[in-house]
């Protein structure tokens, strides 16, 4: 992938620069969401999955995982609302 030089950015009109800024902000937001999902998955996996016995989680593991992720999501939503 080619990198954009400062000179190339300077040659763009204001609308194009604004579109690039908006695109970059959207990409940062996507990356942050992915990071959060990975963090929740890791935390909840370590909390709920003690031993991998098969290709599927058993009922108690599924429930623990669902509850764990739900708690983290609820907490983050509450924090964002503050």
CATH number at residue 57: 1.10.287.810
Q: pTM for the full model? A: 0.61
- Which residue segment(s) compose the domain that 40 sits in? 15-81
Q: Give the list of residues 6+ apart from residue 48 with CB closer than 8 angstroms, or none.
A: 61, 64, 65, 68
Label residue 11 by pLDDT band (50, 70, 90): confident
pLDDT in the model for residue 1: 53
CA-based nearest residue to 48, from 74, 31, 72, 76 = 72
Q: What is the pLDDT of residues 26-76, one digit of tens each?
A: 999 899 888 988 998 899 999 999 888 888 888 999 999 999 989 888 888
Q: Would 39 be classed as within a structural domain? A: yes
In a domain, 67, yes or no: yes
Nearest to 30 by CA among 22, 40, 41: 22
- Count of domains for the chain: 1
């Amino acid at each position: 992938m080619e990198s954009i030089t400062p000179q190339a950015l300077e040659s763009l009109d204001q609308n194009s620069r604004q579109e690039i800024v908006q695109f970059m902000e959207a990409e940062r937001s996507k990356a942050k969401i992915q990071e959060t999902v990975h963090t929740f998955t890791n935390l909840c996996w370590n909390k709920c999955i003690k031993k991998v016995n098969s290709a599927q989680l058993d009922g108690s593991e599924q429930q623990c995982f669902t509850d764990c992720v739900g708690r983290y999501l609820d907490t983050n939503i509450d924090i964002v609302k503050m």
